[in-house]
Structure 1
């Protein structure tokens, strides 16, 4: 077992940190509070090749994998600039299109995903289905040379800042009357596709939307891979989303702990830095331990995925551990700051919201525990 990063990984980490750090939390929080997208940071990361590190070199990418993309997610977040859309555009869409898409789909979408000039977000969640994809109602029906989509998707991130949506739809039912799923690339300006803002109290640059598909017609060539093969394709994308989500959580935890440690070293009460008191130091130390453990599991999951090995349980564990670590780090940081933990000047509350989101999405803690209980412990399925 070798835990040493390669020279290339260290260089990547340093380069991402330098670019994201040049924008920093001040830029990120200003965008979040003003409801603006982080276009400048996204563009800088794309031009440097960091948003496409997992895209094949033939399409302008770096030819790497989830290990490299996780470094990008973690380091940007550690500088106070978590890029949520990397999880869907680079991790899900680029991976799925790169693995299953036709030559035409790859040539059309991967170069833009590689250089950051294009975003393709992901639409699977529905208001009535939740985590139960077998209840998915959005359907696609073949009509001549086209597919026609109808239905509704819920809590879809970043559709106001994307060129296309990778949509999961029902295209039939199998012998056991379970939904057969297929994936389609749908440009956001396709007639019949309507977007409605979904207000949330999360302070973040990326917004949530409800998507309505009303006889949305797309060419047959927009089908990704084979009709009815959507379950396999979806899980090829969901593990990368969970791995990069875990990396995002690790980065947020690192950011919060760095701010808290600096405050605890400099803030003095009764003539001594508050960091000298175990009541302050121990929660921060505990959060750092949890963060390092989450980082190890994240790296393991990414390593397995990049080698084509089963990584479902490890991806879920990494996401669970990182979300918990991020929440504990933020809470410890806020407690260290006392009343200042709520002050806009110190900018901790928006990261608390992002960390709390990671405990719910893209899969909640309870479903992860169900997965580990069933697949890791061999317990009866509970749902």
Structure 2
């Protein structure tokens, strides 16, 4: 499906990179739980990680439709976009709320691939109830001192910068007030104060470079505050729609991969003297998965169009994410069933992609939270929490 020259260009440029990283590369990285640094470096050198950074800062200046095509193509190639997606939507907080000095200092280096902004340090044991985070930032002269514990902070060891959400005033009548985003230069911290940031790797069911992080009195200059002090949660919220759109594109890329692999395998695999693809019991699930994928894709492009036109798109972005997560998971199960016992063998890559795509129904926003959003914000039903 053609969405315009920018999207076509995004697809072709991404394929130039992904064609150099085949199944063997991703399978080995998964086996070793190794960060795919070579792939990330290639994406950075191509300029694709700066897709949404304006040209004045050295980026490509693409809209979210083109950026989403980059994410889709990575997953559709058999790769894993988790090593790249955060740089696109995490960077948005800097782009939208950073001071002129912060933008001039960091955006050109991010656009060129010389600097990595892959880590967003928000979630704590309170989970989706972000208003109850306990990490605090206390003002001390010209600095803030950050103390607390984050349950999930992916890719912090592979990042040069991290954005941290901390509470700078007690939880009050408006519980989402009093939180601030801080843009922390990890290079300086690692060199001079490494004991102030403790990274605890967490092994998960797929290769995501996941960690817990403890901030032990991390001292940062007041100039590290990103946007308006006390309005950090608002700044996080305005990044949710592009995040959901990009994640929807990733899940759609996974669904494409599952449909294509299942179709190819079913055509080649012969049992009882004929390809298994001639059996409607094989055909129908593949067709179902394809149609679900196309339906999710349609809402994805609607969300892109609204976002790029600066129109309200919360409903479309959330629905695209939910539909794509459901489509990718259904396609994953279909592909595993199509392969039978071979689907559990790592050399077929189905079991790896099966594990990878499961996250879209859970994080960074669960499918049930999206259901609640649509029920209350779109349909006007009473709030349940």
Aligned residue in 1 for 2:355? 353
Contact 2:182/2:225 (CA < 8 Å) preserved in 1?
A: yes
Contact 2:2/2:8 (CA < 8 Å) preserved in 1?
A: no
Aligned residue in 1 for 2:234? 232
Residue 139 of structure 1 pairs with residue 133 of structure 2? no
Structure-1-length-normalised TM-score: 0.95
Aligned residue in 2 for 1:318? 320
Superposition RMSD on alpha carbons, in Å?
A: 1.5
Q: In the comparison of the two structures, how many residue pairs are matched?
A: 377
Contact 1:73/1:82 (CA < 8 Å) preserved in 2?
A: no
Write the distance in 1 (CA, Å) between the matches of 2:11 and 2:2.
13
Unaligned runs of 5+ in 1: none
Write the distance in 2 (CA, Å) between the matches of 1:114 and 1:231.
26
Alpha-carbon offset, residue 302 of structure 1: 2.2
SS of the aligned residue for 2:127 comes to: coil
Aligned residue in 1 for 2:62? 64
Alignment of 1:230-309 (within 5 A): 230-309=232-311
Alpha-carbon offset, residue 149 of structure 1: 0.7
SS of the aligned residue for 1:22 comes to: coil
| 1:86-129 deviation per Cα after TM superposition (whole angstroms, max 9, x unaligned) | 332211x21110111011211222123222332221011001x1
Aligned residue in 1 for 2:198? 194
Write the distance in 2 (CA, Å) between the matches of 1:35 and 1:117.
24
Aligned residue in 1 for 2:16? 18
Write the distance in 2 (CA, Å) between the matches of 1:296 and 1:224.
35
Alpha-carbon offset, residue 287 of structure 1: 0.6
SS of the aligned residue for 1:155 comes to: coil
Alignment of 1:1-383 (within 5 A): 4-91=2-89, 93-120=90-117, 121-127=119-125, 129-173=126-170, 176-179=173-176, 180-189=178-187, 190=189, 191=193, 192-202=196-206, 204=207, 206-383=208-385
Contact 1:85/1:157 (CA < 8 Å) preserved in 2?
A: no
Write the distance in 2 (CA, Å) between the matches of 1:173 and 1:67.
39
Unaligned runs of 5+ in 2: none
SS of the aligned residue for 2:199 comes to: strand
Structure-2-length-normalised TM-score: 0.94
Moved more, 345-354 or 186-195: 186-195
Contact 1:294/1:321 (CA < 8 Å) preserved in 2?
A: yes
